Structure 1
Amino acid sequence: MASEPVARAVAEEVARWGAMRQTGVSLRYMMEFGARPTERTLLLAAQFLHKELPIRIARRALDLESLPFGLSSKPAILKVRDWYVDSFRDIRSFPEVRSKEDELAFTQMIKMIRVRHTNVVPTIALGVQQLKKDLGGSKKFPPGIDEIHQFLDRFYMSRIGIRMLIGQHVALHDPDPEPGVIGLINTKMSPMTVARIASEDARAICMREYGSAPDVDIYGDPDFTFPYVTPHLHLMIFELVKNSLRAVQERYMNSDKHAPPVRIIVADGAEDVTIKISDEGGGIPRSGLSRIFTYLYSTAENPPDLDEHNEGVTMAGYGYGIPISRLYARYFGGDLQIISMEGYGTDAYLHLSRLGDSEEPLP
């Protein structure tokens, strides 16, 4: 353990940086800035990150220290806090970025930070699951639990931003980028293609779990493209389709009727690209609708126990897919709405801003 004075000095510095103002960037800005990366633009970007990342990381480290219900003292949460403090220290102890060599060394360092934080979501989920056990399951949560939801929303939104900034900077160093790709942004992303691949991935998981999977029909213009971060869209469609497949599969499992397909419709408007995912899986009762955006609720009967090694993607589990998908949508100015007809099925509307000029929503 670090000696007391060192630990106190770091804590004071984290508090000081956590009070500073964050600077948001937009998808369009990242695209224009990274369009032709030169030594000079990469140097400027690294100097920006050298100042910006410690502010964002410090805020999360502080957040992790003051959670209600003793969540801050859970081993999993302490572990995540240590990752954030270590990353804060790494960036703060890195000298000013002044040359190409500095910039490359800085890029290597933030790449390491990104790796260090890979398992933040499952580790936090583990801490929340421990809390849930303490509170005696999830039937009725004590007042004040909203504070934990707000914290998780802030925390995960901020994490999306940090990973986007680091990932974008690292990707701009790719010596041989794909045509039309700027860092992590595909300037000509086809939502139809992403929907097809994400649906195939979700069906494969459904097959593995149930031995069969409903079809997925996709409608829209196959030639339509717009600038977006492909992995973000893949994650959102994958989560939504996976939920729909599970609902349909479970509803028709013991029936002699043929399971109806899940339908995806891609619409391109002037401002928004909207992707609608519809199923006939029986819907969600209205009383349960508000809960699907919380992190302490899962529709699965017994979510898998999280442990250190459980990295596999399971069909249903921590109830994180939907709330995190909504954060990804909101990160670039979109949104996710879910409308249910109990006894029939569910429609999810994924709105993505086509203009790419909304600033990151910084918690």
Structure 2
Amino acid sequence: MPPPHQYAAKEVWNLSIQELIRFGKPPLSKEAILKSARFTHNELPIRLARRVAAFQKLPYIVGLNPHVQAVYQLYYETFETLRAFPPIETLEQEREYTQSLEQQIKNLSQVIPQMAQGFLECKKYMRPAETRVFLNDLINSRIGLRLIGEQHVALHETNEDYIGVVHTRLQPAKLLQNSAAYVHDLCEINYGSAPDFIINGDTETRVHYVPVHLEYMACELLKNCFRATTEFGLKRHAAGRLPPIEITIARGAQDISLRFRDQGGGISPKDRPHIFEFSYTTVRNEAEEEENNDTMFSVTSKLAMQAGVGGPIGKFNAVE
């Protein structure tokens, strides 16, 4: 079999929502499900090989970090497993491939927190620009890997409103309502107070989208909004009358825009250029965070905030 670098040299498919749903709505015909399997079988090894090659180019001392090494090994083993599967010609082969694929997707589900920890420990061995390029590519690739793999697995399930993992009638207002209520409760547990929230604009709008991606982006932004508003209010001794978070939905001819507004003091000019950089965070150091804020709100988001990956991951989900 060709080595990883030969796979890595191949072109990858340009992924979009329309491409994800091109095989049609379940239940799929035999021909359609085999086409989906063959596409997945061909595409994933190329994407995995590119990550393997990127890991192999890291500085030697970075590659020795146990967190980085563990993630590299996981990617390499996943690549070897999926590329070793024979060409898919029958439904029986497709079922076997899908079972293996589902397990490989699960294996890769927690790589970002582990990589974040690894790069935090290796900051002095790589220039910020090099770290940014590597993590940009890793996260962007991971989104594509999971989308392609999970889409094929989900095409075996029949759901009136879904084509695979894509919700064909997703109402952002409802999802945002649930996300905001969840973050509101976490904030209230943490601080003893939380601002209300308002959702306005084109609240009846429906779109084709992957719900878990919108949910992730919304929660990351809302955590920032709720935290800033509450902490700003506490500093001013106004926790009992916090201004609400405002979420506006605007439907355009070709797209949809979401605006999150808070009155939490804003982003300082010195922080603004860095908000989408990896390893950049305005959260206090770990010891102070644990001492003063060791509750559900801080625990659920602590690693992402301290590693500075929440914003960048959200950005990649937005531009998928």
TM-score surpassing 0.5? yes
What is the CA distance between 1:291 and its match in structure 2?
1.2
For 1:134-213, what aligned pairs fall within 5 Å after superposition?
134=124, 144-174=127-157, 176-177=158-159, 179-213=160-194
Following the alignment from structure 2 to structure 1, what is the Cα–Cα distance between the partners of residues 183 and 307? 17
Matched, 1:318 2:307: yes
For 1:291-310, what aligned pairs fall within 5 Å after superposition?
291-303=274-286
Following the alignment from structure 1 to structure 2, what is the Cα–Cα distance between the partners of residues 214 and 169? 41
Write the letter of the residue equivalent to 2:41: H
Following the alignment from structure 1 to structure 2, what is the Cα–Cα distance between the partners of residues 49 and 115? 16
Following the alignment from structure 1 to structure 2, what is the Cα–Cα distance between the partners of residues 208 and 103? 47
Following the alignment from structure 1 to structure 2, what is the Cα–Cα distance between the partners of residues 312 and 108? 33
Matched, 1:25 2:15: yes
Which secondary structure does the structure 2 equivalent of 1:186 belong to? Answer: strand
Gapped regions of structure 1 (runs ≥ 5): 1-8, 136-141, 306-310, 332-363
1:283 corresponds in structure 2 to 266
What is the CA distance between 1:268 and its match in structure 2?
0.5
C-alpha contact (below 8 Å) 2:71/2:115 kept by paired residues: yes
C-alpha contact (below 8 Å) 1:75/1:127 kept by paired residues: yes
Following the alignment from structure 1 to structure 2, what is the Cα–Cα distance between the partners of residues 121 and 293? 16
Alpha-carbon RMSD: 2.0
1:109 corresponds in structure 2 to 100
1:81 corresponds in structure 2 to 72
1:13 corresponds in structure 2 to 3
1:50 corresponds in structure 2 to 41
Write the letter of the residue equivalent to 1:15: H
Following the alignment from structure 1 to structure 2, what is the Cα–Cα distance between the partners of residues 301 and 69? 31
What is the CA distance between 1:312 and its match in structure 2?
5.5
C-alpha contact (below 8 Å) 1:192/1:220 kept by paired residues: no
TM-score of the pair, normalised by structure 2: 0.90
Q: For residues 158 and 314 of structure 1, do their structure 2 counterparts lie closer, same or farther at Cα, with a shift above 3 Å needed?
A: same
What is the CA distance between 1:52 and its match in structure 2?
0.9
2:112 corresponds in structure 1 to 121
Write the letter of the residue equivalent to 1:110: L
What is the CA distance between 1:317 and its match in structure 2?
3.2
| CA shift digits 1:272-317 (9 cap, x unpaired) | 2000001111111122112111111111112489xxxxx9622643
C-alpha contact (below 8 Å) 1:43/1:100 kept by paired residues: yes
Which secondary structure does the structure 1 equivalent of 2:167 belong to? Answer: strand
Q: For residues 69 and 278 of structure 1, do their structure 2 counterparts lie closer, same or farther at Cα, with a shift above 3 Å needed?
A: farther
What is the CA distance between 1:222 and its match in structure 2?
3.1
What is the CA distance between 1:101 and its match in structure 2?
0.5
What is the CA distance between 1:69 and its match in structure 2?
8.1
Aligned residues: 306
C-alpha contact (below 8 Å) 1:195/1:237 kept by paired residues: yes
Following the alignment from structure 1 to structure 2, what is the Cα–Cα distance between the partners of residues 203 and 129? 30
C-alpha contact (below 8 Å) 1:54/1:88 kept by paired residues: yes
C-alpha contact (below 8 Å) 2:249/2:259 kept by paired residues: yes
Q: For residues 69 and 13 of structure 1, do their structure 2 counterparts lie closer, same or farther at Cα, with a shift above 3 Å needed?
A: closer
2:294 corresponds in structure 1 to none
Q: For residues 112 and 270 of structure 1, do their structure 2 counterparts lie closer, same or farther at Cα, with a shift above 3 Å needed?
A: same
Structure whose residues are more often helix by fraction: 2
TM-score of the pair, normalised by structure 1: 0.80
Q: For residues 279 and 69 of structure 1, do their structure 2 counterparts lie closer, same or farther at Cα, with a shift above 3 Å needed?
A: farther
Gapped regions of structure 2 (runs ≥ 5): 290-297
